[in-house]
Structure 1
Amino acid sequence: MFYLLVQKGFNVIQTETLLTFGVYLVFLLAVGWYFYKRTSNLEGYILGGRGLGGWVTALSAQASDMSGWLLMGLPGAVYLGGMNEAWIAIGLFIGTALNWIFVSSRLRVYTELTDTLTISSFFEKRFRDPTSLLRVGSAVIILIFFTIYSSSGLVAAGKLFESMFNMDYSVAVISGTVIIVAYTFLGGFMAVCWTDFFQGALMFFAIILVPILGTIDNGGISVIESEMAARNIATSLFHDGSGKALSVMAVISTMAWGLGYFGQPHILTRFMGISSVRELPKATIVALTWVVISLTGAVIVGMVAIPMFDGLHGGDQEKVFIYMIGKLFNPWLGGVLLAAILSAIMSTIDSQLLVSSSALTEDFYKKILRREASQKELMLVGRLCVLVISIIALSMALTPGNTILGLVSYAWGGFGAAFGPVVLFALFSRKTTWVSALSGMIVGTVVLVFWKDAGFGAQLYEIVPGFAANFVTITVVNMIAPQKDEAILAAFDEMKVGLKK
């Protein structure tokens, strides 16, 4: 019943919300146009000339990381499963911290040392792969999993527009796609990062305000816990709704989301684009503060929604944040907070589209088809690739039954299993060769896909066996045939020296 009332409420406030959205979207397009006029080469379009400041790097990285699943997917999971699902947030925080502390500085120095703009090209030059199989193979993986990942964001956009304006789902998804593609197409990396900076700030505001007012409106934490207990929804991290203790396997499977961070290209490119390694300590503090508060807020939103709304399922549980805004806020402020959800969605899709476009342009077109292509030609190809990938992702998103969290989990696991160990060995192991890196990438990806398709993911998240298989494969191959190329070993040592400058 309340679901219908919320839909009716959004129809009533459509004019106010549309006006708020209109101002917000014009601003995003203006940012895209601003950087369109100031982007003159492929490095500027793909990596912004490595000129990001600490604050922009931090907020854009985390906004592109969290996406619509932070404000929709995670609260929906907590709404159905209770506190058990908070292990996802704990795992993500740990993974975020390790990524910023150990990976960011080495990757920034090493990619500049090797003069590389994409993760795929970094793998090739870092290991001096004479076959280009590392570069092409990783680019193919990026295209496959980012298409799935991008479609999850378009599903989120469709659900948002569908709920707000009572639009047909297909029309809603197409509308969201057009908006996101427009400013990514125009401004490239700098437009994406600066819009993500503002979007990250707006998401942060929303994820603090909504759960606080929702808790007060429900009568406090005790009322929420009582309702969760009455519905047999877990009120503890360590027990399910029936009071049975969670298995170690269940905890590991849920926390394993954190393993994915080491292999996410759209996050790693932020480390590559920061102006200086000296900016990273400040950026790390900002990023980790944003993450811990945002993840906590998202979990609380899911819990607060339990006594507020009854009987949401089949994907509707991922709209609890939208429904909560409709109930708690007036049309004008509600429009701003709903724009925060759109921000969460956009901030990830734009990054994914740009990284995918970079893979096609830098790792296929320039590497294989047109080695002598001009910078103007490469930027045009990059923009056209954004359109092509968007259309493919859109076709996947037009299936209404897809859930945000389900699509994200597969793509996230894919990158973690395929790239995570390769990135870590590239940055921390002198003796890793291109053969061991390629072998690990292939084995990790195959194990992940097999595990998922065989249905074992219900017992253990597929990223765990995929990541482990990749890691073990690289370790074994390194023991059999370690790196002996003196130039590669010297470059690794030079990277370590660069960290101290």
Structure 2
Amino acid sequence: MSVSNPTLITFVIYIAAMVLIGLMAYRSTNNLSDYILGGRSLGSVVTALSAGASDMSGWLLMGLPGAIYMSGLSESWIAIGLIVGAYLNWLFVAGRLRVQTEHNGDALTLPDYFSSRFEDKSGLLRIISAVVILVFFTIYCASGIVAGARLFESTFGMSYETALWAGAAATIAYTFVGGFLAVSWTDTVQATLMIFALILTPIIVLLATGGVDTTFLAIEAKNPDNFNMLKNTTFIGVISLMGWGLGYFGQPHILARFMAADSVKSIANARRISMTWMILCLGGTVAVGFFGIAYFSAHPEVAGPVNENHERVFIELAKLLFNPWIAGVLLSAILAAVMSTLSCQLLVCSSALTEDFYKTFLRKNASQVELVWVGRAMVLLVALIAIAMAANPNNRVLGLVSYAWAGFGAAFGPVVLISVIWKHMTRNGALAGILVGAITVIVWKHFALLGLYEIIPGFIFASLAIYIVSKLGAPTAGMVERFDAAEKDYNLNK
């Protein structure tokens, strides 16, 4: 690897820019609210692109194109499910959660919100939800580190072990220094880079394979079933892929963007921007994997790395078809996808440890400066654990993400969704929902029951548990009063 390598230089410039943004955000970080939620100051553009970028991890440019490359359009059901789920999350949860968190003790984290919304004096709801965040997010962080390591490994010929540390270092640096503002500002840059890469790459691949007609004929010649949306799938298989959309209601790193918006009025505009960005990105991702089938059938002599690991399809196409400087920018988009999600996850874990354990149980009167530095220390701690979990080079990005996504979607999704639309939900109902959702995912995953993605039974059983247990009790007058005030505020300002 030469130091004059254009791709290396592009990566270094990109990483330096992200760390510089982190240093700028450092100057605006004065207290824990700034570090965790950016002082609730995000406008609609930053809210929209930050929510999108934090959601679409290395999975967007590695896991999904690889799945499409291997199996054809039958894997695109997952993209359809995600688009529907994301839209419903923006529509029903985003604005309401923004006002509910403000009316319930100006909550900074999900456990903080649950604790205030349901007047949980015991701290049990806060502890259990914080533990769920730490368990599933550490797995999620590991998936991001695996994706970053794969990128550095295949781009620069590093060993997996070296690539592991190289891929994680920059993200840890700017998250550690700048907190939520650094993460949100860098997300906006990263979202722009990702959409550029995912619109340009499929167009160039299409041109390289001879245009639309030639490309489609080559894909059909490879396997006519590549066009079949129902290839090798069943009703349960399609439902499982579509079920990914349910996960949006419970992802703490996405919900944090709603909580940090400067006002409810910003949400509607942010929804339009975010959904446009998401549809273009997912369309580009499917096209990269699909057109890649035609390219590598026509050029089997360069297909070795992709046949060895199909998640490299975007990486190899960028390296083969573009000038090294442009390839460097495109490959930086993968790093952007990895860094944007990993940074959000590290910050949410740090927030849970700092706000929901350290401040609540250990140091109630800790100063803001102390809490910010504890938050930074927690970023390092979670990152080191995730790096240790990612040390197995046989890890697949999509497998790790699917487990963590299901865990959050089932444990928190029903609780968040029902808590912002139904005022009769109780503390015991919330507790039952989190426990039933998380346990169902773990048990269902272990036994692989019916071949159904574990988020679906998890979400259904958690919703039933919330309803049944809430009906056995009643919310306090204070809970109903705050809910009504927040709902009135939302309807006046949406």
Residue aligning to 1:4: none
Q: Deviations over 1:418-458 (max 9, x none)?
A: 0000001110111110101101110111111001011237x
Aligned residues: 485
Please name the residue that 1:6 is paired with.
Answer: none
TM-superposed CA distance for 1:267, in Å, is 0.2
Which residue identity lines up with residue 368 of structure 1 in the other structure?
F
Q: Contact between 1:87 and 1:237, CA under 8 Å: does it hold in 2? A: no
CA contact (8 A) 2:41 2:260 kept: yes
How much does 1:239 deviate?
2.5
Aligned-pair distance for 1:308? 2.4
Distance 2:307 2:354 in 1: 38
Q: 1:192 aligns with which of 183, 200, 205?
A: 183
Q: What is aligned with 1:335?
A: 328
Letter in 1 for 2:110: I
1:173 aligns with 2:164: yes
Tell me which residue corresponds to 2:454.
462
Q: Say yes or no: does 1:419 pair with 2:406.
A: no
Normalised to the residue count of structure 1, the TM-score between the two structures is 0.94
Per-residue deviation at 1:299?
0.5
Name the counterpart of 1:450: 443
Residues 314 and 401 in structure 1, CA contact (< 8 A), matched pair in contact too: no
Cα distance in 2 for partners of 1:212, 1:172 equals 30
Correspondence for 2:62 among 61, 65, 72 = 72
CA distance in 2, matches of 1:154, 1:139: 22
- Change beyond 3 A, Cα 1:377–1:298: same
1:303 to 256, 267, 290: 290
Query: Is it true that 1:489 corresponds to 2:476 in the alignment?
Result: no
What is the aligned counterpart of 2:22 among 32, 48, 53?
32
Structure 1: gaps of 5 or more residues: 1-10
Could you give the per-residue CA deviations for residues 149-202 of structure 1, whole angstroms, max 9, x where no partner exists?
Answer: 011111110010011110001100111111110000000000000000000001
Paired-residue identity, %: 49
Whole-Å Cα distance in 2 between the matches of residues 441 and 14 of structure 1? Answer: 52
Contact 2:143–2:400 (Cα < 8 Å) also in 1: yes
Matched residue SS, 2:272: helix
* 2:220–2:227 Cα contact (<8 Å) kept: no
Any residues of structure 2 matched to 1:254-265 within 5 Å, and which?
A: 254-265=241-252
**2:122 corresponding residue in structure 1:** 131
**CA distance in 2 between partners of 1:424 and 1:159 (Å):** 36
Of residues 20, 32, 56, the one that matches 1:42 is 32
One-letter amino acid matched to 2:41 = G
For 2:53, which of 47, 55, 63 is the aligned residue? 63
Question: Where do residues 102-251 of structure 1 align in structure 2 (5 Å cutoff)?
Answer: 102-114=92-104, 115-232=106-223, 234-236=225-227, 238-240=229-231, 246-251=233-238
Amino acid at match of 2:54: S
SS in 2 for 1:29: helix
1:285-322 per-residue CA deviation (whole Å, 9 max, x = no partner) reads 10000001100100011101112234667871111100
Following superposition, the deviation at residue 398 of structure 1 comes to 1.3
Q: Deviations over 1:226-283 (max 9, x none)?
A: 4444444633454316xxxx42211111100000000000000000001111111111
Q: Distance in 2 between matches of 1:295 and 1:161?
A: 23
| Cα pair distance change 1:237/1:282, threshold 3 Å | farther
Q: Judging changes above 3 Å, is the alpha-carbon distance between structure 1 residues 128 and 210 closer, same or farther for their aligned structure 2 residues? A: same
Distance 1:43 1:13 in 2: 41
Cα deviation, residue 69, structure 1: 0.4
Question: 2:33, 2:90 → 1: CA distance?
Answer: 23
Residue 274 in 1 paired to residue 261 in 2?
A: yes
Distance 2:289 2:467 in 1: 41
What SS is found at the alignment partner of 1:473?
helix
Distance 1:311 1:224, change over 3 A: farther
Task: Return the letter of the residue paired with 1:466.
Answer: G
Tell me how far apart the structure 2 counterparts of residues 453 and 141 of structure 1 sit (CA, whole Å). Answer: 17
SS in 1 for 2:393: coil
Q: 2: distance between equivalents of 1:176 and 1:14?
A: 20
Give the superposition deviation at 1:364. Answer: 0.3
Alpha carbons of structure 1 residues 431 and 388: separation in structure 2 relative to 1, 3 Å: same
Q: Distance in 1 between matches of 2:228 and 2:380?
A: 43
| Equivalent residue letter for 1:161 | F
SS in structure 1 opposite 2:385?
helix
Alignment partners' CA distance in 1, 2:142 and 2:307: 18
Which shifted more, 280-289 or 470-479? 470-479
> 1:315–1:343: structure 2 CA closer, same or farther, 3 Å change rule?
farther
Match of 1:94 among 77, 84, 89: 84
Q: State the SS of the aligned residue for 1:95.
A: helix
Q: 2: distance between equivalents of 1:350 and 1:15?
A: 27
Q: C-alpha deviations, 1:54-105, integer Å up to 9, x for none?
A: 1011001100100110011100011111101100000000011001111100
Matches for 1:423-434 after TM superposition, within 5 Å: 423-434=416-427
Alignment-mate amino acid for residue 416 of structure 1: G
Pick closer, same or farther for the CA change 1:65–1:253 going to 2, 3 Å: same
Counterpart of 1:98, as a letter, is L
Q: Structure 1: which amino acid aligns with 2:415?
A: V
| Pairwise CA distance, 1:20 | 1.2
Preserved contact between residue 208 and residue 295 of structure 2 (Cα < 8 Å): no
Tell me by how many angstroms 1:215 deviates: 1.3
CA distance in 2, matches of 1:294, 1:98: 18
1:20 maps to 10
What is the Cα deviation at residue 222 of structure 1? Answer: 3.6
Structure 2 portions without partners, runs of 5+: 297-302
CA contact (8 A) 1:82 1:233 kept: no
Cα deviations by residue, 1:343-363 (Å, 9 ceiling, x for unpaired): 011000000000000000000
- Give distance in 2, aligned partners of 1:14 and 1:480: 68
Contact 1:233 1:240 in 2 (8 A): no
Note the 1:294-373 alignment, pairs <5 A: 294-309=281-296, 310=303, 316-373=309-366
Instruction: Report if the CA contact (8 A) 1:13-1:331 is conserved.
Output: no
SS of 2:461's equivalent in the other structure is helix
Give the CA deviation at 1:478.
Answer: 2.3
CA distance in 1, matches of 2:142, 2:252: 17
Partner of 2:452, secondary structure, is: coil
Residues 219 and 291 of structure 2 are in contact (CA less than 8 Å); yes or no, is this contact kept in structure 1?
Answer: no
